[in-house]
Structure 1
């Protein structure tokens, strides 16, 4: 006696429906473990926030995102200039959570002071507070200008290609710098900020 496969539902799924793969013996019952050729998984309806962001993105001019990024960078520079982190009280509590809880300098400690010195064109003092930050600034500035110029005005500046090995080497140097600047004996104590 042979079994006759049951009817296969060929109707398209509704929005939000989930395609499930039938049990292993489903092929014997006339079902396919794979979706039919040309089958498209339904895309879920975006939520309100996603729709709002997409509408804003579609209606905004090309220069809006680079302008917002310039605004964020400008706010960071203004904060460094207004707060003047170089003249903090000696007994003031550190604002860095890691330094406050452990007493160690974090990988970014000294970055705000270094930025303040860079904005005042004192590169030796900036490098004293965070050498790797000062070293990376020209590269970051060029990458930002190239991206913002392309987004806003269609500029095609020469692309700065940084290989993953170089990025890995930089991250390893940053980790080593973070460890070395926290060592409690000379000459490493000169790196302590």
Structure 2
């Protein structure tokens, strides 16, 4: 076959599998939310236990997080705050970051190295450390932080 002088096709610069990645992550998130909605972590055996709590007897910053999300999915914000207030506060941030990344990917906007602003990561890390320390203090004022 001879060359007919036409230009070769232009290949898209966007990675072909990237939109499938976000579609798959969204599907897994919705499936996980459906499982959490239908099966209460406080009454179901198949959720993994917290290894930090099993080894130390202390509550990590994530202890009670699955119960909090289960209660949020059922509209029980007060119960979710009692299970894990930090997770309840982080849910909107995680949703914002997820929507932002998907929106930028679909719009073809070049993303920075980190989809999350670095100062926000430091704030969340600091909040997790402080929350993890305070919820394990044997002080009555911080008892509400334990699940």
Report the TM-score when normalising by structure 2: 0.71
Q: Deviations over 1:97-129 (max 9, x none)?
A: 111121111121111011101111111211221
Quick one: structure 1 residues 137 and 59, their matched pair in 2 at CA, closer, same or farther if it must change by over 3 Å? closer
Once the 2 structures are TM-superposed, how far is the Cα of residue 63 of structure 1 from its aligned partner? 2.8
2:122 aligned residue = 168
Cα deviation, residue 59, structure 1? 5.5
| Residues 1:75 and 2:31 are matched in the alignment | yes
Q: For 2:82, which of 105, 128, 151 is the aligned residue?
A: 128
Aligned 8 A contact 1:86 1:113 in 2: yes
1:178 corresponding residue in structure 2: 132
TM-score by structure 1 length? 0.56
Query: Structure 2: which 5+ residue stretches go unaligned?
Result: 1-13, 110-114
DSSP 3-state at the match of 1:184: coil
Comparing both chains, which one has the higher relative contact order based on Cα–Cα distances under 8 Å and sequence gaps of 6 or more?
Answer: 2
Moved >6 Å (runs of 4+):
none
Question: Do the aligned residues in 1 keep the contact of 2:60 with 2:132 (CA within 8 Å)?
Answer: yes
Number of aligned pairs? 127
CA RMSD, aligned part only? 2.7
Conserved 8 A contact 2:53-2:60: yes
Distance apart, 1:186 and its partner CA: 0.9
Choose from 107, 132, 137 the match for 1:154: 107
Instruction: Give the distance between the partners of 1:58 and 1:168, measured in 2 at CA.
Output: 30
Shift in Å at residue 72 of structure 1?
1.9
| Residue 84 (str. 1) matches residue 40 (str. 2) | yes
Which structure has more helix as a fraction of its residues?
2
